[in-house]
């Protein structure tokens, strides 16, 4: 199995990076949609339905597949011989950050359901602050992988 993964390494790494970029785009954009949905849209209006449709499609057709692909290709990299040195700190900081990013993804999914049910109680300010979560995690992940501290 290790030989197969080693042979696929350049492709796996390429597809992992593409998946991460797609996932991050959604993680940056969905909270911004929530800010505008909260601050500028009346519950039950046509615009509310439009925002719900955009949020649903972003989550289901871009973010969920991108997150799944990120995990699949990331785990393939983890199991590729010679790629991860588990005695270093960096794989652990990356792993924790990816787990938190996954939690954030699911948190956004639950917040989307609040809009669907008309029960959102969070203000735009909360979504603005939460929009910084993927940025901080991205910085930690990139520094972990590139600097390998």
Indicate yes or no: pTM above 0.75.
yes
User: Residue 123: helix, strand or coil by DSSP?
Assistant: coil
- In the chain, the N- to C-terminal Cα span, in Å, equals 29
> Cβ–Cβ contacts within 10 Å for residue 11, how many?
11
Sign of CA dihedral 23, 27, 32, 33: positive
What is the model's pLDDT at position 18? 98
Distance CA 105, CA 110 (A): 9
Pair 58, 29: CB distance under 8 Å:
yes
pLDDT at 2 over 80: no
Distance CA 100, CA 31 (A): 16
Q: Which of 19, 23, 32, 21 is nearest to 105 (CA)?
A: 23
What is the model's pLDDT at position 149? 79
State the average pLDDT over residues 62-79.
Answer: 98
Catalogue the long-range contacts made by 50-54 (C-beta closer than 8 Å, 24 or more residues apart): 51/115, 52/112, 52/115, 52/116
Distances (CA, A) of 137 to 1, 15, 37, 119, 132: 31, 20, 25, 28, 9
pLDDT at 112 over 80: yes
Q: Which of 67, 34, 65, 63 is nearest to 51 (CA)?
A: 34
Mean pLDDT (the chain, rounded):
97
């Amino acid at each position: 199995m290790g030989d197969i993964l080693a042979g696929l390494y350049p492709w796996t790494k390429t597809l992992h990076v593409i998946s991460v970029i797609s996932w991050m785009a959604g993680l940056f954009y969905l909270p911004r949609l929530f800010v505008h949905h909260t601050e500028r849209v009346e519950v039950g209006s046509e615009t509310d339905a439009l925002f719900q449709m955009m949020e649903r499609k972003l989550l289901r057709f871009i973010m969920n597949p991108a997150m799944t692909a990120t995990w699949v290709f990331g785990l393939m990299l983890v199991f590729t011989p010679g790629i991860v040195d588990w005695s270093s700190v960096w794989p652990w900081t990356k792993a924790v950050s990816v787990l938190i990013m996954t939690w954030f993804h699911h948190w956004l999914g639950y917040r989307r359901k609040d809009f669907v049910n008309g029960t959102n109680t969070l203000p735009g300010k909360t979504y603005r602050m939460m929009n910084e979560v993927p940025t901080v995690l991205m910085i930690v992940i990139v520094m972990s992988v590139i600097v390998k501290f």
